[in-house]
Chains A and B, each alone.
Chain A
Amino acid sequence: MESALIGWSRAQFAMTAAYHWLFVPLTLGLGLIMAVMETLYVTKKDEFWKKTAKFWQKIFGINFAVGIATGIILEFEFGTNWSNYSWFVGDIFGAPLAIEGIFAFFMEATFMAVMYFGWKKVSKGFHLASTWLTASGAAISALWILVANSWMQHPVGMEFNPDTVRNEMVDFWAVVTNPVAVSKFFHAVTCGWEVGGVFVVGISCWYLLKKREVRFARKSILVGSLVGIIGTFAVMFTGDSSAVHVARYQPMKLAAVEGLENGGPRAGFSFIPGVEVPGMLSILATHDIDGIVPGINDILNGYTDNEGNVIPSAGEKMEKGDIALAAFQDYRRLRDTDPEAAAQAKAVLDENIEYFGYGYIDSPEELIPPTGILFWAFRLMIGFGSICLLVMVIALYLERKNRIEGKNWLYHTALASIPLIYLAGQFGWMTAEVGRQPWTIQDLLPLKAAVSSIDHTAVITTFVIFAAVFLFFLIIEIKILAKAIRKGPGIDETLNQ
């Protein structure tokens, strides 16, 4: 059973990450939408598009201001609650985060200033470039964070140094071009486009419901739904490649998401319990209906994968983990007194290092993440995302057919879609992160070894403080956003019509 210390440390990290993810996707999506709108202003020379872009830039700014620095709290938690982990990951984690801080953040800060202050100071072209660079800076920030996260899901490009007890980067490009990072980056960014699209369509429908800012709302629906629909299809495409990577590198996560106890070829996918499409899971995971998808029991007992590799059982991995951990202890004990014996111990450690974390696993059952949470989180992510896609397609169709006015049912549905798309994003991260339990770093470091040896009541205290601070800022953001939206863009309806 998980200790109170691990439970509270996980809860605090999950709460902080979930809170951070409330702001990031809207920054990513709204960034693109406002850039497209400003491009329309520059190309069409229509003041209406300038005012429209400026309104959404204001909303972008409010969201950015409240979201800013929420990610820094995660770094506090690494140092205090997860100190073993923080040291063990070494420069693998530090390098991408440093690049994010120096390059992407300053890029955003510089060009955002031009975007907000430079309307009358710089040329139209330079201003437009600054808006695009602000939007791109947000995506580049996300890239480095996701590179760090993906390394935990599929560690590559490093070597463990038993002297420093750190993983040292030996191949920067292997870390950056980690296939998990590539698909996760595009999946997260395009998810942001969907969030941005749903948000803009929902808020625009509110104006139509109130019979205000009609031209602004209809044109915003046009741009927002197009970005959102393209984003959603890209989310599906990148989600498909994510599934293939999960099947290859984290098969237990996939088996747990499907609740698949015994796998094999032609594995079925159930949309809800009892409604199963035969062979669909094999197609999703391997792009081949005859592809083998191992179930939970197969992974625990050992199996042969699609390339013919024999994958050891959990018991065998645990034995190799014990050997690796014992060799690590021997190396530390002998390195100053008996260099030859220490070298032998290091050779044994290197041979078994890929199973290092299994040395901390007490029973194979510990390797199974919570299947119920994963099963429903994954399906709710897909379900809510699909509802939002449908709403955007209907809104776009009615707008193009000039039949969108007076459709109160659509306005209410579009507004209700805003919380749904946020929930879809949260469920997506829940699937990714709960699914890799018990690992902080896949196969190398489980939670129990990663957590700091501190008093769990201290973690409870900071959890409560964070919950209160987060709630305070969230209420303020929603109030400021609501005020800005109620005030509206104030566009003259006859402007350049």
Chain B
Amino acid sequence: MKPFRQILKSIGALYVEGFRGMTWGRTMWILILLKLFILFAILRIFFFRPVLGGKTDAEKSEFVGTMLTSPSHNDTITLKH
């Protein structure tokens, strides 16, 4: 049985040589990185701020509880009682 270090080395070599020998895969990686950049560095930071972000769990419970029961805070709901 191969020693553990040798197995790790083989796994590392698989990835290193695999990435080095890529042809069409390079284009796909550029595409993936570009997409991840647009998603996480632009859209997530500037356009998709979680409404509950920065609140503790207790504050989130309080906030959502109010949103679900108070039409004065949430104009999409009406309550009949």
**Which residues in A have some Cβ–Cβ distance to B below 8 Å?**
3, 5-6, 58, 61-62, 65-66, 68-69, 72-73, 76-77, 79-80, 83-84, 86-88, 113-114, 116-118, 121-122, 162-166, 322, 325-326, 328-329, 332, 359-360, 362, 448-449, 451-454, 458, 461-462, 465, 469, 473, 476, 480, 484
In the complex the two chains form, is A322's CB within 8 Å of B80's CB? yes
In the complex the two chains form, is A80's CB within 8 Å of B69's CB? no
Interface of A: prevailing SS: helix
Query: Which chain B positions have C-beta within 8 A of A329?
Result: 69
Query: Which chain A positions have C-beta within 8 A of B14?
Result: 113-114, 117-118, 121-122
Smallest CB separation, A193 vs chain B (Å): 24
A69-B39, A359-B79 as given contacts; A449 in contact with B47, CB under 8 Å:
no
Smallest CB separation, A89 vs chain B (Å): 11
B8 on the A face (CB < 8 A): no
Query: Which chain A positions have C-beta within 8 A of B65?
Result: 162, 165, 332
From B31, B35, B68, contact of A88 by CB (8 A): B68
Query: Which chain B positions have C-beta within 8 A of A461?
Result: 47
In the complex the two chains form, is A454's CB within 8 Å of B17's CB? no
**Which residues in B have some Cβ–Cβ distance to A below 8 Å?**
10, 13-15, 17-19, 21, 24-25, 27-29, 31-32, 35-36, 38-39, 43-44, 47-53, 57, 60-61, 64-65, 67-69, 73-81
Query: Which chain B positions have C-beta within 8 A of A5?
Result: 76
In the complex the two chains form, is B28's CB within 8 Å of A61's CB? yes
In the complex the two chains form, is A116's CB within 8 Å of B25's CB? yes
**14 A-B interface contacts by CB (under 8 A):** A65-B29, A65-B32, A69-B35, A76-B43, A84-B74, A113-B15, A165-B64, A165-B65, A325-B81, A329-B69, A362-B80, A448-B76, A453-B67, A484-B24
Query: Which chain A positions have C-beta within 8 A of B67?
Result: 84, 449, 453
Smallest CB separation, B29 vs chain A (Å): 8
From A77, A165, A451, A453, contact of B48 by CB (8 A): A77
Most buried by B among A66, A83, A117, A465: A117
